[in-house]
Amino acid sequence: MRHLISTLGVVLAQVDLKPDFAVIPGSGPLQRLVNGLGAIALMLSLAGVVVGGGLWGVGSLSSNHHAATVGKRATLYGVVGAVIVGAAAALVNWAFQLGGTA
């Protein structure tokens, strides 16, 4: 039993994973699709910042505290969304590298 466990440990230690997108058929169009989705997400984040900033300004000038609060929240969500979209690839690569060291 001990020999089986040590052999199994050696076999598991030899497993390796190196993602290679070149071997996947259609990986080029898929990458372009993901890039396009990222562009759409950034445009929506920009729209959220612009609309939220406008609502924040109008709400503040008209003493409508609810509208100003909603505008602040929309502006913040737009900025956070853009940060997440911009950092998505780096976050995924960091998580993959972290998993590879475990």
Q: In this predicted model, what pLDDT tens digit does every residue of 41-93 receive, in sequence order?
A: 999 999 999 999 999 999 999 999 999 999 999 999 999 999 999 999 999 99
Q: Is 21 within the bounds of a domain?
A: no
The answer to whether the CB of 44 falls within 8 A of the CB of 79 is no
pTM over 0.75: no
Q: Is 19 within the bounds of a domain?
A: no
Q: Which two tokens stand for residue 73?
A: 């929240």
As a whole number of angstroms, the distance between CA 50 and CA 47 comes to 5
Q: Is 50 within the bounds of a domain?
A: yes
Total number of domains constituting the chain: 1
Q: Is 37 within the bounds of a domain?
A: yes
79 Rama class: left (phi>0) / alpha (psi -120 to 50) / beta: alpha
Q: Is 62 within the bounds of a domain?
A: yes
* Domain boundaries, position 52: 31-101
Q: Is 7 within the bounds of a domain?
A: no
